[in-house]
Amino acid sequence: EIGLIPCPEARYNRSPIVLVENKLGVESWCVKFLLPYVHNKLLLYRQRKQWLNKDELIDITCTLLLLNPDFTTAWNVRKELILSGTLNPLKDLHLGKLALTKFPKSPETWIHRRWVLQQLIQENSLPSLATKGSLGATPVERIHRLVQEEMNVCSEAAGRYPSNYNAWSHRIWVLQHLAKLTVKVLLDELSSTKYWVSMHVSDHSGFHYRQFLLNSLIHRTVTDKNIPVQKQVVNEQNPSLQKEKESAGTEAACAEEQSVDLPGRLDEEMELCSELIDNYPGHETLWCHSDESLNNSHHSPATSHMAQAMDVDGLNESSSKQGYTQETKRLKRAPVQDSLGPEMEYRFVDKVLSTCRDVDQARFATAYRKWLVTFLGQ
Amino acid sequence: MHVGGEVDVRSAYCAASVASLTNILTPALFAGTAEWIARCQNWEGGIGGVPGMEAHGGYTFCGMAALVILKQEHLLNLRSLLHWVTGRQMRFEGGFQGRCNKLVDGCYSFWQAGLLPLLHRALHARGDPALSMAHWMFDQLALQEYILLCCQCPAGGLLDKPGKSRDFYHTCYCLSGLAIAQHFGSGDLHNEVVLGIPENCLQATHPVYNIAPEKVARAVMHFLQYPVPSLDPA
């Protein structure tokens, strides 16, 4: 990781670079000399007033980006180097990772990262690389490793800045574009982020990520098979999940998805929510998450993904009667559920209201109760 | 956002804003844009940067305003959007947060509060009988208090929250938010709600473009004189 060492004056005649174990530090006094110097050099190169060879370019942009990773031009120079084959894209992933230890939000870093990953995806699909891969990894394994690494990078960045929108957005992007939203990866991510969100109960972005995972799972089971997942009573869970093959074979995927215990997953989510709400009173995020998870488990999979789709049966949205009837249409379409969800939720809310001492908690619980009545119609 | 740059809802707003003011807006230019923006609305009711992302004040304003320009705001679930944005005003501070469970920030005085005039207009167009004829659906006085009492830098300029330093961005959006909070409606329905002395009252701002309404009118009138450029070579 990198960092700036507060050191307003150069006390000794020695290098301002400090390397201790895995930590690279730069004494702050030198930045006001270093940054303008490298910045100027790069601009002169860009203006074609001063030539820089490839190694110099790599060094200069590297230095620049570790000091200020939101300098788009520097990332773009590196894009050119990658496209001309002089720079290994993996180096930029590493550079970005370093930059993110100090600048976990840096939008330009995340944007460049996605460009690099897109390059790698394209490379990966070329047959010539099937044999050329480093460490003898197959294309599939390489993608898998990339995905895992991205999950790590996102996780670390999320830990360095609360509700790190850019990090969580990137995480979603990676799942959509690299991991193709396979059931396996969705379930893996659900389990690997469970601990993290429990430790960051105000991190709305973290919980939003879980909503994204759950919604994707629901959507996945609907679009792949066109029949709803079998409703199972909670105590008869069948959580056996075979290892998902990474290929795009939809038939194989179908057979395995049959065993996704969606209701079980949603109930687990509700349990997690209730537990966290009890332990950490007064966090609005947890109540929002509860709302939405219950919403998902109350409707059958076929209709719950309609929670976002605004077209109800393709009816013309701009007709003036549509707006307020959207909610009732959604409710009417949902078949009656065996789920005990709402009843348990009422009991939970009433318990919270009668035992809590936190003012915000009471307010959220009251609002939740009103929501239960209005939207679930029970 | 630029050639080779990222794609998100902000650029749709920038494009729609520029195109509509300069009279180069054609259906071909924005084919599919409205539907794409609508996909950015999520379960929270707000709008994210791209489909699938967390709802966020800045992106929500851009999405809604772009749709208003494209006359497609009804593609959104306006009710859940209203529910989300009104939940973003903080009861203690009076200002707005950008996302659930985050801190208040002066700039959201515009991005978030600015949604309410847009929603008001859209719901009114739909014949909603319950709309106020004097106030937006947020606490206008509380927002003004937050901006005036907490967001001013003693040396001039405005800022995010006490303890932060001033910058042009926060100065712009705190003032824009203040203008929104002070002025309801326009023309015959104009209602001013000014906290403190009358001199605190700012000029109204256009809720879609965030420039003076007269400037919007003048720009539109000026560019209407010119034909819409065609994509065919001359």
Q: With residue A2 as reference, give the H or E element that holds it.
A: strand A2-5
Residue B51 has pLDDT above 90, yes or no: yes
Query: Given this model, what pLDDT does residue A74 score?
Result: 95
Grade residue B179 by pLDDT with cuts at 50, 70 and 90: very high
On average, the pLDDT of chain A sits at: 78
pLDDT, average across residues B199-225: 97
Which positions in chain B touch A202 (Cβ < 8 Å)?
A: 101
Grade residue A309 by pLDDT with cuts at 50, 70 and 90: very low
From the list B42, B43, B54, the residue facing A165 with the nearest CB is: B54
Query: Given this model, what pLDDT does residue A299 score?
Result: 63
Which positions in chain B touch A162 (Cβ < 8 Å)?
A: 102
Which positions in chain A touch B41 (Cβ < 8 Å)?
A: 308, 310
Between B36 and A230, residue with greater pLDDT = B36
Residues 6+ apart with CB under 8 A from B8: B1, B49, B50, B59
Inter-chain touch A163–B77, beta carbons under 8 Å: no
What is the tens place of the pLDDT at every residue in B216-225? 999 999 999 9
Using CA atoms, how far apart are residues B119 and B73, in angstroms rounded to an integer? 9
Question: Complex ipTM, two decimals?
Answer: 0.91
Query: Among A95-99, A313-317, B18-22, whose mean pLDDT is lowest?
Result: A313-317
What is the tens place of the pLDDT at every residue in B95-110? 999 999 999 999 999 9
Largest Cα–Cα distance of chain B, in whole Å?
A: 60
On average, the pLDDT of chain B sits at: 95
Using CA atoms, how far apart are residues B220 and A235, in angstroms rounded to an integer? 65
CA distance A107 to chain B (A): 10
Which positions in chain A touch B54 (Cβ < 8 Å)?
A: 165, 168-169, 204-205, 208
What is the tens place of the pLDDT at every residue in A24-38? 888 888 888 889 999
Which of B39, B54, B86, B92 is the best mutation test for A, with the most CBs of A within 10 A? B54
Query: Given this model, what pLDDT does residue B166 score?
Result: 98
Which of A141, A137, A136, A2 is closest to A69 using CA atoms?
A2
CA distance B128 to chain A (A): 9
Determine contact: A293 vs chain B, CB below 8 A: no
Query: Given this model, what pLDDT does residue A283 score?
Result: 87
**Residue spans per domain, chain A:** 1-124
Using CA atoms, how far apart are residues A338 and A322, in angstroms rounded to an integer? 29
Name residue A18's amino acid. V
Determine contact: A323 vs chain B, CB below 8 A: yes
What is the tens place of the pLDDT at every residue in A54-96? 999 999 999 999 999 999 999 999 999 999 999 999 999 999 9
pLDDT, average across residues A127-133: 54
From the list A111, A204, A283, the residue facing B99 with the nearest CB is: A204
Inter-chain touch A324–B79, beta carbons under 8 Å: yes
Determine contact: A322 vs chain B, CB below 8 A: yes
Residue A259 has pLDDT above 90, yes or no: no
Query: Given this model, what pLDDT does residue A31 score?
Result: 87
What is the tens place of the pLDDT at every residue in A152-208? 999 999 999 999 999 999 999 999 999 999 999 999 999 999 999 999 999 999 999
Determine contact: A168 vs chain B, CB below 8 A: yes
From the list A115, A205, A310, the residue facing B75 with the nearest CB is: A310
Inter-chain touch A208–B6, beta carbons under 8 Å: no
Between B7 and B31, residue with greater pLDDT = B31
Which of A78, A110, A204, A266 is the best mutation test for B, with the most CBs of B within 10 A? A204
pLDDT, average across residues A114-118: 96
Supply φ then ψ for residue B8, to 5 degrees: -155, 180
Between A325 and B11, residue with greater pLDDT = B11
Domains of chain B: residue spans and CATH: 9-224 (1.50.10.20)
Inter-chain touch A211–B43, beta carbons under 8 Å: yes
Query: Given this model, what pLDDT does residue A261 score?
Result: 81
Query: Given this model, what pLDDT does residue A178 score?
Result: 94
Query: Given this model, what pLDDT does residue A229 score?
Result: 47
Query: Given this model, what pLDDT does residue A225 score?
Result: 55
CA distance A198 to chain B (A): 15
Inter-chain touch A76–B43, beta carbons under 8 Å: no
pLDDT, average across residues B203-224: 97
Grade residue A135 by pLDDT with cuts at 50, 70 and 90: low
Residue A331 has pLDDT above 80, yes or no: no
* Chain A residue whose CA is closest to B92: A360
Residue A321 has pLDDT above 70, yes or no: no
Tokens of A327: 């909610």
Name residue A377's amino acid. G
Tokens of A236: 């008869």
- Please state the separation of Cα A126 from the chain's center in Å: 28
From the list B39, B52, B79, the residue facing A176 with the nearest CB is: B52
Query: Among A46-50, A65-69, A112-116, A247-251, whose mean pLDDT is lowest?
Result: A247-251
Residues of B annotated catalytic, as ranges: 56, 99, 102, 105, 107-108, 160, 167, 170
Concatenated DSSP letters of B141-185: HHHHHIIIIISB-TTSSB-SSTTSPP-HHHHHHHHHHHHHHHEES
Query: Given this model, what pLDDT does residue A244 score?
Result: 33
